[in-house]
Chains A and B, each alone.
Chain A
Amino acid sequence: MPVMPAEAILSCEMGFDQLQQAGSMIGSGGVIVMDNTTCMVEVLERIALFYFRESCGQCTPCREGTGWLYRLIYRIRTGVGSASDLDKLVNVADKIEGRTICALGDAAAWPVQSFLKHFRGEFEAKISSQVAA
């Protein structure tokens, strides 16, 4: 599910339409709350790893794309990413979204897209500092 920054979600009622309007989704109804000490790069890496492992491998975009996403984020998290990796990351996620048989591919793409939309600064900082988290 797409991640939402606090200012966008605090005033939002928890409901199907409301969350969609705010730019996320209710999904299964589960919510993860993260405070400002959380490293968003690490969280995205964890999420990407989950989808990489869970992909069944049946259809092309998810089988090939989830591994690619994970490896890009892993590189950034371990301090060896490059600035161009960020656009590439969004680009790969866009290529997966809407092309797969089931929703797992979409679910793998949305966090990447939303993390980079709302927390791109953290990713850029990680790349420019070149220090592993």
Chain B
Amino acid sequence: MLKVEINGQQFEAEPGSTIIEVADSAGIYIPRFCYHEKLSVAANCRMCLVEVEKAPKPLPACATPVTDGMVVQTLSDIAKQAQEDIMEFLLINHPLDCPICDQGGECPLQDQAMGFGGSSSVFEEVKRSVDNLDLGPLITTEMTRCIHCTRCVRFGEEVAGVMELGAIRRGEDMKISTFLGTSMDSEVSGNVIDLCPVGALTSKPYRFTARTWELNGHKGISPHDCLGSNLEIQEIRGVVKRVLPRDNEAVNECWLSDRDRYSYESVNCNDRLTMPLVRRGENYQEIEWTEALDLVSSGLGQIKETWSGEQIGAIVSPTASLEEFFLLQKILRALGSSNVDHRLRQQDFRDDLAAPVCPGTETSISKFQELDGVLIVGSNIRKELPLISLRLRRLAQQGGEIAVLNPMSFNHNFTTAQEVIVKPSMMAIVFASIARKVATATGKADLLPERLVEFATRHEFGTDVDAIADCLTGDDSDVLILLGQIAMNHPDASMLRQIASWMGENCGIRIALLPDANGVAGWVAGCVPHRLPGGRSNASPGLNSKKMIDERLKAYVLYGVEVSNDYADPVALDTALNEAEFVVSFSTFRSAVPMQADVVFPLAAFTEIDAGYINCEGVTQFASAAVKPMGQSRPGWKILRVLGNFLKLDGFDHVTSKDIITELEEVYDLSEPISVRYKPDLQAINHVVAQSDELKNGKQLDRIIDVPVYSVDPTVRRATALQSTKDADTVALLACAEELEEMGFKPGSRLAVHSKAGKVMLRVQPDDRVPRGAVYVPTGLSETSVLGSFPVVVVQVME
């Protein structure tokens, strides 16, 4: 440790640390603009100049490593004069438009001009003005305000891995630019707004809607992915105005994905349900709460009496909160039904009984960048979990190896050591083959289950599979196999999970099985048919989300589910709802209500509820309501709690949402680390090749099923700015040029895509990231909903 003196105080410092780091940890503030702890040092703003004994001139604190015995003055005349002079230079060309600037009130330039600047200016020349950039629907620019700190440039280059912004020209003409006039399309682009120390880059949807000092902040948790990013939800007079990241090094650090940052827009939209509704013939009519609750309790009660409780099924959105999951399954089970499931897109449930308490990751999120290697199986990780992808990028930069087994070569923001792209139906076989290679390399080949060996030998693979196995083996290496959405919702998901778990058990590899949204909480709360709260086994398991629909129950409860987008097979669900006697819909948005719903409860949005979320690491985080529910909408747990009373069920006396958590904690310790490995279940290791023999007249191809980043849940799908981004423009079929040529496709001709469920005409985009034998057709979109989730489609060229 080195001894350093700052402003007369003695500190100890690690060798290699800089003056600003030592000062920051000691609580001594040195003004800065370009320095940011998550970015490389640029030392170009010169605001952090400090006096260092024996140095001939003031030195930048951000770029000067401390030495033993160094004496630093941050408040001496020399230091203060240097800072004041730099501030004068920064301000000569900065517009004096603070009163109309969104950054006003939270502006480092404004604050530091007050704290470290002079009181007057002698500048009499003409100020510089700079043309604005059109960065797309999320970020607005006022480039005259730019002070050239290059934080945004370094963020793109170093953190996001996309060089969307750069500096062009030089001297006074130097400016930040996109080079080609393109928009910023990165899934984490909004972070440059937080990074920008002036009002050059600000939020477009938030623009001119509030002043920062009027806003009240509340702690939120993002419900859109299984990371559970910490949010700072800011509102004014009960209206959410914007969402910012809340620093949490263990989860989102100081970043936020655009999905988490801008999804709040939909909670203010006029599509919100504000009253309970009842269907009278073709039309819906607003009714009072008591009437709606009466109708639902008598409706469900009648189904139970006429048929049985088992004729009721509940399909729950994975974005629901822990409390909602818990109360909903409690109601269902009290009615005598275990038909409750939140896994809406899952296809393969064969391994349910071998499942652990919940899926998740064995490596904690904060350790992702410290791994030696990662194998990503079936995930467009960059869009699925943008902030995990940033950590993986850091891992790759630090020399870790990332291997990928995907049905399509997605654009990653990190370099991969090895990528194997196979059509979906081959994924499980390739994965088995990788497992065999890994087992052989680690001397565990004898332990391999026979079934697994049989699959591995079905196909001869080349050196690329060996290379993946190499990435996963090595002395004392800490490696992770990560199964994303495509794997978890694959028709062979059981097999993929089994193979991963086997490697986890036997080859010293950690695994991550990543669920949708708040799925971990869904499992823990017992919102799965085969498990009770806390993962206790259920003696009489109910039907999973797929069976519930296949069995055509008499009553359905749809909780936050939009039929055409959220459920794997919208056509089947639609048919089941048509045939059902009683349908209850809990929905935040009017347009998300299915037309078969008999009674509709208006759900409060994620910004309006006290809610618990469990992220993929098993950490429970609580959000507090930022604003009151809109109109007569109510938090889900309150509706369910009162519905329990109306149904005259026992144990629905919760006064606060905390009471629900307390009840859950009687059977499950939320602070306990999770275990995610599946028990060996050979029945599950049984490869299915999907058949599509009823379809003719066209080419049969595997369908790559993936949910586009801005189609994941009803809230995101209604966020207008996000829906205007390039990432939201996804309604197209992607296939490699060779495949299209073979089918006789010419530019201008149209393609009809058939599945067992239906047919749709789609725009075609040749894309060589898609392997032969497969087409990419996104799901989660109303446009492709008629295809259901069949893993095989028949594609026909129309003249």
Please report A residues at the B interface, Cβ cutoff 8 Å.
52-61, 63-68, 71-72, 88, 91, 95, 98-101
Q: Are A68 and B123 in contact (CB under 8 A)?
A: yes
A111 to B58, CA, bound (A): 21
Interface stretch (choices B43-51, B539-547, B633-641, B701-709): B43-51
Q: Are B46 and A100 in contact (CB under 8 A)?
A: yes
Dominant secondary structure of chain A at its interface with chain B: helix
Interface stretch (choices B155-163, B164-172, B316-324, B520-528): B164-172
Partner of A63, one of B47, B85, B122, B172: B172
CB-CB contacts below 8 Å: B85-118 with A: 85-86, 88-90, 92-93
Q: Quote the shortest CB–CB distance from B124 to chain A (angstroms).
A: 9
Partner of A65, one of B45, B58, B89: B89
Dominant secondary structure of chain B at its interface with chain A: loop
Name which of A54, A55, A63, A95 has the most chain B CB atoms within 10 A of its CB. A63
Closest to B84 in A: A95
Partner of B44, one of A52, A68, A101: A101
Q: Are A57 and B170 in contact (CB under 8 A)?
A: yes
Q: Knowing A60-B44, A100-B46 touch, does A53 contact B171 (C-beta < 8 A)?
A: yes
Partner of A61, one of B85, B122, B172: B85
Q: Quote the shortest CB–CB distance from B42 to chain A (angstroms).
A: 8
Q: Are B170 and A68 in contact (CB under 8 A)?
A: no
- Whether B82 is near chain A, meaning CB under 8 Å from some CB there, is yes
* Total inter-chain residue pairs, C-beta < 8 Å: 78
Extra contacts, 18 of them, besides A59-B43, A63-B174 (Cβ < 8 A), are A56-B171, A57-B167, A57-B169, A57-B171, A58-B148, A59-B44, A59-B46, A60-B147, A60-B148, A61-B46, A64-B92, A67-B171, A68-B92, A68-B123, A91-B122, A99-B49, A99-B58, A101-B43
Q: Collect the chain B residues with CB atoms within 8 Å of residue A60's CB.
A: 44-47, 86, 89-90, 147-148
Q: Collect the chain A residues with CB atoms within 8 Å of residue B476's CB.
A: none
A30 to B122, CA, bound (A): 35
Q: Collect the chain B residues with CB atoms within 8 Å of residue A57's CB.
A: 148, 167, 169-174
- Whether B57 is near chain A, meaning CB under 8 Å from some CB there, is yes
Q: Quote the shortest CB–CB distance from B149 to chain A (angstroms).
A: 9
Q: Collect the chain A residues with CB atoms within 8 Å of residue B167's CB.
A: 57
Q: Quote the shortest CB–CB distance from B30 to chain A (angstroms).
A: 15
Q: Quote the shortest CB–CB distance from B151 to chain A (angstroms).
A: 14
Q: Are B90 and A68 in contact (CB under 8 A)?
A: no
Q: Knowing A56-B171, A63-B171 touch, does A98 contact B46 (C-beta < 8 A)?
A: no
- Whether B125 is near chain A, meaning CB under 8 Å from some CB there, is yes
Please report B residues at the A interface, Cβ cutoff 8 Å.
43-47, 49, 56-58, 82, 85-86, 88-90, 92-93, 122-123, 125, 147-148, 167, 169-174
Q: Collect the chain B residues with CB atoms within 8 Å of residue A63's CB.
A: 89, 148, 171-172, 174
Q: Collect the chain A residues with CB atoms within 8 Å of residue B85's CB.
A: 61, 95, 99
A53 to B93, CA, bound (A): 17
Q: Quote the shortest CB–CB distance from A63 to chain B (angstroms).
A: 6
A65 to B87, CA, bound (A): 12
Q: Knowing A52-B172, A65-B89 touch, does A58 contact B44 (C-beta < 8 A)?
A: yes
Q: Quote the shortest CB–CB distance from A81 to chain B (angstroms).
A: 11
Q: Are B90 and A64 in contact (CB under 8 A)?
A: yes
A81 to B171, CA, bound (A): 24
A57 to B168, CA, bound (A): 10
A54 to B171, CA, bound (A): 7
Q: Are A66 and B43 in contact (CB under 8 A)?
A: no
Q: Quote the shortest CB–CB distance from A67 to chain B (angstroms).
A: 5
Q: Quote the shortest CB–CB distance from B648 to chain A (angstroms).
A: 72
Q: Collect the chain A residues with CB atoms within 8 Å of residue B44's CB.
A: 58-60, 101
Q: Are B171 and A66 in contact (CB under 8 A)?
A: yes
Closest to B172 in A: A67
A65 to B56, CA, bound (A): 21
A61 to B89, CA, bound (A): 6
Name which of A60, A63, A68 has the most chain B CB atoms within 10 A of its CB. A60
Q: Collect the chain A residues with CB atoms within 8 Å of residue B92's CB.
A: 64, 68
Name which of A53, A66, A67, A99 has the most chain B CB atoms within 10 A of its CB. A99
Closest to A54 in B: B171
A67 to B123, CA, bound (A): 12
A3 to B270, CA, bound (A): 72
Q: Quote the shortest CB–CB distance from A66 to chain B (angstroms).
A: 7
A57 to B148, CA, bound (A): 8
Q: Collect the chain B residues with CB atoms within 8 Å of residue A59's CB.
A: 43-46
A54 to B169, CA, bound (A): 11
Closest to B174 in A: A57
A95 to B58, CA, bound (A): 12
Q: Are B90 and A98 in contact (CB under 8 A)?
A: no
Q: Are A71 and B90 in contact (CB under 8 A)?
A: no
Name which of B44, B123, B167, B169 has the most chain A CB atoms within 10 A of its CB. B44
A72 to B124, CA, bound (A): 9
